[in-house]
Amino acid sequence: MSRWEYILKRLLLAVLVLFLVSLVTFFIARVLPSDPAAAWVGPRPTIEQIAKARLTLGLDKPLVVQYWRYLTSVLRGDLGTSIKTRQPIITELRTYLPATLELVFTALIIAILFGLPLGVLAGANKGGWVDHFSRVTSVAGVSIPTFFLGLLLQLLFFARLGLLPIGGRISNEVAINYPVQQITGFYTIDTLITGNFVAFRDTLWHLILPAITLSLYDIGLITRMTRSSMIEVLNEKYILAARVAGLPRRTILFSLALKNAIIPTITVVGLSFVYALTGSLLVEVIFAWPGLGVYVTNAVLSLDFPVVVSVTLIVTVFYIAINLVLDLIQASLDPRVTLS
């Protein structure tokens, strides 16, 4: 099967998955014991106000008709309107989604910068102190609950040492005196583009604790996978030949061995991105980070189901896209991998 045929097949499968996800989440949101019309009207609604809201929201139609209207709206790029804020969901996602992606990308970069070299050194020094340290780090990373780690870091770096802010994306004073001109929605990038270095330093300072909290689990996964792959690759004959030829140890590890050992790690990195995207909920709540986690939490508490359904679709799109990209990268790096 050619690459383009494979991509077409995966895209068709992705459409089917998105359809099923939208179908399930839509009907689950409709059968739950809640009344979106009453939530739309506000506190202490009258019967007449609820009836009028049901007509406005189209809730008086059969569920099949409601879903068809929702599906056609999504295909036009309209994710609906938030019941709580009465704002278009697509507009609100332009604010919340970049905040989450900035946090997730930063956490993933930290995980790669720490996990990959640690895994390489651990695999190259099996049984040594680096190997033992990497195993302790891996176990701690996948075992410590995210909420506990976040609270612990807040107590240490904010309450005890006073070095880092406890939460938020930017300080109120900096936001007022040095407002961020939003271009991409990523504060760190936007402040650099516009030369707003005071705001850049402040946003970077706010990003450190939540990013470290979110990255620890990924550090553990990347370290363990890289270590296992390196141990296997370093026993290959071409590595032994390189050692006999007298090549520098750094060249053998990072140029020859890592090229093949990194293939399984790429899969872990992709899955770590998806995990961080879906697992950032607790981190965002703990650090008051204005991203999708806080957005969905408020939506659930206020029974704002259009928001819940829309965010579920967005996360599913990311999951499908990441898996497709990973498959293509693996096929490019390893000729033994076939696209089928």
- Look at residue 338 in the predicted model and tell me its pLDDT: 54
Tokens of 86: 């009465």
Residue 51: pLDDT band with limits 50, 70, 90:
confident
Q: What average pLDDT does this structure show over 274-295?
A: 84
**Average pLDDT of the residues of the chain:** 82
Give the amino acid at 167.
Answer: G
Q: Kindly report the pTM of this predicted structure.
A: 0.83
pLDDT tens per residue, range 291-301: 888 888 888 87
Q: What average pLDDT does this structure show over 232-255?
A: 80
pLDDT tens per residue, range 149-176: 888 889 988 888 888 898 889 998 998 9
pLDDT at position 117 over 90 = no
Which is more confidently placed, 252 or 310? 310
> Which phi-psi region, left, alpha or beta, contains residue 168 (left: φ > 0; alpha: ψ -120 to 50)?
left
Q: Parse the chain into domains and list their residue ranges.
A: 98-292
pLDDT at position 198 over 90 = yes
Dihedral over alpha carbons 136, 139, 143, 144 (to 10 degrees): 30
Give me the architecture of the 98-292 domain, per CATH. Answer: Orthogonal Bundle (1.10)
Residue 29: Cβ within 10 Å count: 18
Q: How far apart are CA 10 and CA 155, in angstroms?
A: 46
Q: How far apart are CA 292 and CA 20, in angstroms?
A: 22
pLDDT at position 201 over 90 = yes
pLDDT at position 1 over 70 = no
3-state secondary structure of 81: strand
Residue 204: pLDDT band with limits 50, 70, 90:
very high
